[in-house]
Amino acid sequence: MCPRAGTRQALRLTAWRICGNLRDMRTFLSCLLLSLILATPALAWESRVKGVRDGDSLNVLNDDGVLVNIRLYGVDAPEAKQAFGFQARKRLAQLVSRKNVRIENVDTDRYGRTVALVRLDDGTLVNGEMVRAGLAWVYDQYCLRADLCAGLHQAQAEARAAGRGLWAEASPTPPWEWRKAHKTEEWYAAPVRAMKTLGRKIKGIIHR
């Protein structure tokens, strides 16, 4: 699991403070190396998309041949039974199905999914394309990278002004509000329980 941007920054500052107080040269050099590692952005990895789950998540294979569920960072697409849920899934499939993509891990969510930035071979940011098409919202609660999120907000403003996708409606309901309103319905609650259970098992394996 890759630390969030804010976490990595805090770790870097702490490492530099500690390093600055060390007098032993060998220990200082080791500490400096750690600081440089923490200063390096998370490395991207490449994979071929095996399937699309909905408008903001897809499946790929990692280097070990294990299926990994990728959740697009910073965006939230309409749910399957929500207005424009079908269109969102269809658009994401058009963008990535059976294509090679570059994945930059950002975090792991409570369901055990890898939260990431996903780019096509030409550098197109899939997260942004979904927002630009009016088929995903900027997920403000979890969009914490200021530079990136500013671009997503700009794309959302353009989609809204043009009336694209879900913005064709006068007052579209954000997915997080829609989920909250339907969380007690069994058709929605059952798969959520299953994902939470899977997420706990995955985290248990990671932290062994």
Whether 4 sits among the annotated catalytic residues: the reply is: no
Maximum C-alpha span of the chain: 65
> What is the tens place of the pLDDT at every residue in 134-182?
999 999 999 999 999 999 999 999 999 999 999 999 999 999 999 999 9
Residue with the larger pLDDT of the pair 77 and 22: 77
Sign of CA dihedral 166, 168, 174, 178: negative
Find out whether 115 and 106 touch, Cβ atoms under 8 Å: yes
Residue 58 sits in a domain whose CATH number is 2.40.50.90
Single-letter residue type at 130 = M
- pLDDT class for 39, splitting at 50, 70, 90? very low
Total domains in the chain come to 2
- 196: in domain: no
Closest alpha carbon to 127 in 109, 101, 160: 101
Same domain? 87 vs 167: yes
Please give the pLDDT value at position 20: 54
Percent of the chain surpassing pLDDT 70? 68
Whether 71 sits among the annotated catalytic residues: the reply is: yes
Same domain? 49 vs 23: no
Q: Give the domain range for residue 28.
A: 5-39
Same domain? 128 vs 146: yes
Same domain? 34 vs 112: no
Please give the pLDDT value at position 67: 95
Question: Could you count the other beta carbons within 10 Å of the beta carbon of residue 100?
Answer: 12
Give start and end residues of each alpha helix (H) in 75-185: 85-96, 126-132, 146-162, 175-182
Distance CA 80, CA 192 (A): 13
Whether 113 sits among the annotated catalytic residues: the reply is: yes
> What is the tens place of the pLDDT at every residue in 55-93?
999 999 999 999 999 999 999 999 999 999 999 999 999
Same domain? 63 vs 138: yes
Question: Could you count the other beta carbons within 10 Å of the beta carbon of residue 142?
Answer: 18
Percent of the chain surpassing pLDDT 90? 66
Q: Which of 89, 91, 113, 119 is catalytic?
A: 113
Same domain? 175 vs 157: yes
Please give the pLDDT value at position 156: 98
Write the DSSP assignment of 162-178 as a string of letters: HT-GGGGSSSPPPHHHH
Distance CA 163, CA 68 (A): 34
Q: Which of 71, 89, 91, 132 is catalytic?
A: 71
- In the DSSP assignment, the letter for residue 56 is T
pTM of the predicted structure, to 2 decimals: 0.71
Mean pLDDT estimate for the chain: 82
Same domain? 14 vs 113: no
Same domain? 15 vs 67: no
Same domain? 94 vs 167: yes
What are the backbone angles phi and psi of residue 84, rounded to the nearest 5°? 75, 5
Residue 25 scores a pLDDT above 90: no
